């Protein structure tokens, strides 16, 4: 079986994707933290009823 040759450019694009993923994950974590901090951790997946 012939060994697949991996080009260097594909690693660059993988890194770009990883960077994008990291940004998305970080953003989600930051938004979740802020939401939990502001409105409680119950509000992550439920809508807080008005009192």
Partner 1 sequence: MSTLTKILVVLLSLFSIFLCGMMVSYVGSANNYRKLYKEEQTARDAAQSDAIKKADLYKEQVAKTKELEDRLRLEINALQERNNQMAANLQKTERLSQEYQARADSWKGVMTGFEQSVSTMLDSLKLTQDQLEKARAQNIQDQKELNQLTADLYDKIVQLQRLESERRRLLEQKTELEKQVTQFASGTTVIAASPVTQISDNARPAGTPISSDIQGLIMEINQSLVTLSVGSADGVQKGMTFHVVRGSEFLCNVVVTDVDINKSAGILEMVQQQPKIGDTVATKL
Q: Per CB under 8 A, which of residues 19..48 are in contact with partner 1?
A: 19-21, 23-24, 26-27, 30-31, 34-35, 38-40
Residue from the set 1, 3, 5, 9 that interacts with partner 1 by CB under 8 A: 9
Instruction: Report how far residue 51's alpha carbon sits from residue 39's, in angstroms, rounded to the nearest whole number.
Output: 13
Which DSSP string corresponds to 14-28? HHHHHHHHHHHHHHH
Contact between 16 and partner 1 per CB under 8 A: yes
Q: Are 32 and 39 in contact (CB under 8 A)?
A: no
Residues at the interface with partner 1 (CB under 8 A): 9-10, 13, 16-17, 19-21, 23-24, 26-27, 30-31, 34-35, 38-40
């Amino acid at each position: 079986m012939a060994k697949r040759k991996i080009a260097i450019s594909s690693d660059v694009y993988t890194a770009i994707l990883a960077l994008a993923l990291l940004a998305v994950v970080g953003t989600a974590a930051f938004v979740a933290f802020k939401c939990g901090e502001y409105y409680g951790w119950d509000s992550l997946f439920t809508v807080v009823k008005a009192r």
